[in-house]
Structure 1
Amino acid sequence: MQNMIGFPNMTQTLQVTGCHIGRFPPGWEYPRHHHHLFELLCCLGGEVVQEISRTSITLRDGDWLLLNAGVRHKTTNAAQEDYAFFNVHFDLDDLDIRRLLGATPYRLIPAHEAAQSGGLTRAFGELQALMQPTDGEEGSIGAATRLEDKLLLQANLLLIIRELLVLIRSQQSAGTEPERVTLFAADAAHAIEERLSTGLAEDVSVASVAKELNMSRSQCTKLFTKVYGLSPRQYVSRQKLMLAKEMLVTSYLPVAEIAQRLGFQSASHFSRQFRRWTGQSPTAFKPKHRGSDPEA
């Protein structure tokens, strides 16, 4: 009798921008702003005040803060010493992970909770070692030039995110997390997501989904963004990118056929959009052993 354990097929993207380790002097501040990605912060020394909407949070050594995409915040070092920090802006394709990360405007992981996670300590230690400054400059993700180091950076960032998910679930169980979205908002967002995902090939519009659900277009967009942390248009774009990558890598379909299945007007339209997404043409992205397809 044969027995086989399989790993599920997946094609997912980790997007990382602005990954830094640095410090700012007393009196430094960054004006109110927001990002289109998740922002993860860790205080490595001193303290800093984060004003999030009408809430003021002071981060001290060892505290972690996860900010949802689109959340406006202001950062101020009101202490009498330098504020040392780690921060990174990131995003993931996985909707279940995004739903958990983005269910609240922010999540604070106090130092004493973070210290209980051996995995978080190990992964962040590895990341710090890879980002050691050279020639007197602060560390950044661009400091790792070797291909294997770039992979190790991504691996450790994913491990950090994984440990944060575990800590977030612990907060949920203990009832100490910030206010969640309402049940109505969650149900409405899930219904919108289902209709958008099943209508990718027809390039279904947000307006048509809103009409089907008896909502205004603005209400539809607002509810979806509140739950998932990105707009319906951004969601559709990411889903198409994920499916495009999967079909290019795992099938022998020509580019024109993939473009049609994803609802693009032509192969050339798809190719231009794919290049905007990835910096590569679909033909260049395809594994070389599959040959190349001419692009319109």
Structure 2
Amino acid sequence: MVAVMLAASPGIRVSFDDQRVHEYDGDAGTISVLPANSERKVTWSSTCEKVIVTMPPQRLLELSAHEFGAGRAVLQPPPFGLIDLRALHLAEMLKAELAREVPSKIYIESLITIFGVHIVRNYTGADSLPPRRKSGGGLSNRSAERVRELLESRFASKITVGELAAVSGLSPRHFIQAFTKTFGESPHRYVLRLRLNFAEELLVESVLSIAEIAHLSGFSDQSHLTVTMSKHRNRTPRQVKQQR
């Protein structure tokens, strides 16, 4: 079971079989992962709004085999209070669809599959920041983490270099240089890679149309996605979809 908080909720208390009590304040995007056959008790001091996704262990193993070629997956629950902005983005999409007068079952199942892939990729192993280069001029670890979280949560929408630079406390020109030294590519290429990765996930895991996937991934239309993917991935969205 995975829970993602949609709004802040202070004073959360969690206890497990060993009776130890952990207390923390939850912000929007706070994620908790509970492996199968585990028990815990949770109490809240205020109203809590969240999305909960449950997944049978066998489905988790299937996703793990698809991602890593491994027939087993050991979940590694994150620390208490960890904020996962990508999970928050997917949870908000789930909430929006469930709130529709006639929700699309296929669309919901697709989002849950993508959510499951995200959990397998990030909570059955560490996905750390790219290693810092020894030469100076890069972003600090804290700034790099903030920038990465912002990009991963908003890659599908318009975001300016000025906004990213403000997070790091740098001028736009110095930010581009520092970002490139830290991540090994420019902000534009980084965002483009996130959008193409997300589009490929949807093409493989969902039954959405290519036009819908282009919109959800941050491209202006289907033609924009096709041209960009052909240039940078040497294949078209239709070819990716046919490989399902």
| TM-score after normalising by structure 2 | 0.45
Q: Which has the larger helix fraction?
A: 2
Structure having the larger proportion of residues in strand: 1
Bigger radius of gyration among the two: 1
TM-score using structure 1 length: 0.38
